[in-house]
């Protein structure tokens, strides 16, 4: 069976290219942003200005340059999306490896917990968890998303481990007296990396949408921290008079999520032939 070539997969390429653009724009925000994203001194009477040559995305209610704010906001959105997923993958891997390798009662208990966490509509529970904290903030968003997000990865890794545990090389390692930890990290995990990578990539998009949603509701990033969700909350207030305040951050969010999803779907096609349509 011919393996689809990563370089020949259009969705994967488009997603990767778009993602690189967003990553570069976020990393380069300090140099690319034409104005200070927090600077209020864009000139008197420049509030809620239409998009123009000086301000390609227009200005917000305090006269701040929206392009600069969208660029800086991308840093937060991408950092939260990727950072949360890294922590999630770490925790999910640990749970999945232990549950899959030890099996029995350990597996049963861990999977029951996973089921319960999964039983909640995630954003509803995330909103509920934010209430635990004295005041909302981006750090709490990260904490909550990690606390709720690890289940998918745990399931994926556990599934892979179950399929691998009776393979010869794992049995051989065991017979040679390798410790449980060594088997899990050196023989099981590397072979589960494919599905893990796919799940993690798709997870990044989910995290970005969740962060934007919470920030939009006022339960995430608090001013002066800029995130696309918080920018959209501003946009909501000026929808009738200055629609560009809502249009540009949302379009950025949509494109970034689309990029990550295309990347994830593409990786799945390339790494896992079974899923190919």
Under the rule (CB under 8 A), what is the footprint of other proteins?
Answer: 112-113, 115-117, 119-125, 127-132, 136, 205, 209, 212-213, 216-219, 232, 235-236, 239-240, 243, 246-247, 250, 253-254, 257-258, 261, 277
Closest approach, Cβ 120 to other proteins, in A, equals 6
Q: What is the three-class DSSP state of 58?
A: coil
Based on CB atoms, which residue is closest to other proteins, 132 or 175?
A: 132
> Phi and psi dihedrals of 65, rounded to 5?
-70, 120
Distance CA 83, CA 139 (A): 11
Based on CB atoms, which residue is closest to other proteins, 95 or 184?
A: 95
Distance CA 65, CA 48 (A): 9
* Residues 99 and 154: beta-carbon distance below 8 Å: yes
Distance CA 196, CA 193 (A): 5
> Phi and psi dihedrals of 145, rounded to 5?
-65, -35
Distance CA 152, CA 19 (A): 23
Angular region, 104: left φ>0, alpha ψ -120 to 50, beta rest: left
Based on CB atoms, which residue is closest to other proteins, 37 or 235?
A: 235
Closest approach, Cβ 211 to other proteins, in A, equals 10
Based on CB atoms, which residue is closest to other proteins, 19 or 101?
A: 19
| Cβ partners under 8 Å of residue 148, min gap 6 | 117, 120, 122, 125, 126, 129
Closest approach, Cβ 46 to other proteins, in A, equals 23
Based on CB atoms, which residue is closest to other proteins, 92 or 205?
A: 205
Based on CB atoms, which residue is closest to other proteins, 122 or 191?
A: 122
Closest approach, Cβ 234 to other proteins, in A, equals 11
For the record, the structure tokens of 32 come out as 């690319």
Closest approach, Cβ 110 to other proteins, in A, equals 13
Closest approach, Cβ 183 to other proteins, in A, equals 31
* Residues 44 and 34: beta-carbon distance below 8 Å: no
Based on CB atoms, which residue is closest to other proteins, 180 or 236?
A: 236
Cα 158 to chain center, whole Å?
21
Closest approach, Cβ 122 to other proteins, in A, equals 6
Distance CA 235, CA 59 (A): 11
Both ends of the chain: CA-CA distance in Å? 14
């Amino acid at each position: 069976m011919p393996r689809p070539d990563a370089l020949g997969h259009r969705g994967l390429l488009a997603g990767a290219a778009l993602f690189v653009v967003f990553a570069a724009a976020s990393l380069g925000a300090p140099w690319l942003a034409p104005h200070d994203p927090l600077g209020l001194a864009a000139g008197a009477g420049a509030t809620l200005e239409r998009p123009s040559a000086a301000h390609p995305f227009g200005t917000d209610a305090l006269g701040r340059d929206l392009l600069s704010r969208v660029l800086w906001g991308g840093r937060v959105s991408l950092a939260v999306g990727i950072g949360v997923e890294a922590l999630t993958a770490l925790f999910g891997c640990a749970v999945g490896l232990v549950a899959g390798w030890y099996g029995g009662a350990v597996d049963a208990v861990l999977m029951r917990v996973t089921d319960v966490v999964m039983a909640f509509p995630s954003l509803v529970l995330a909103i509920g968890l934010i209430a635990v904290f004295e005041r909302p903030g981006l750090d709490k968003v990260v904490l909550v998303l990690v606390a709720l997000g690890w289940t998918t990865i745990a399931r994926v890794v556990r599934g892979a481990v179950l399929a691998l545990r009776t393979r010869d090389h794992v049995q051989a390692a065991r017979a040679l007296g390798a410790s449980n930890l060594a088997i899990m990290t050196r023989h099981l995990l590397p072979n589960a990396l494919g599905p893990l990578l796919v799940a993690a990539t798709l997870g990044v998009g989910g995290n970005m949408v969740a962060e934007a949603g919470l920030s939009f509701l006022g339960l995430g990033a608090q001013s002066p921290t800029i995130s696309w969700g918080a920018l959209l909350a501003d946009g909501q207030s000026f929808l009738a008079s200055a629609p560009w305040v809502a249009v540009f951050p949302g379009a950025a969010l949509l494109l970034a999520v689309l990029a990550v999803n295309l990347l994830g779907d593409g990786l799945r096609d390339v790494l896992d032939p079974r899923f190919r349509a």
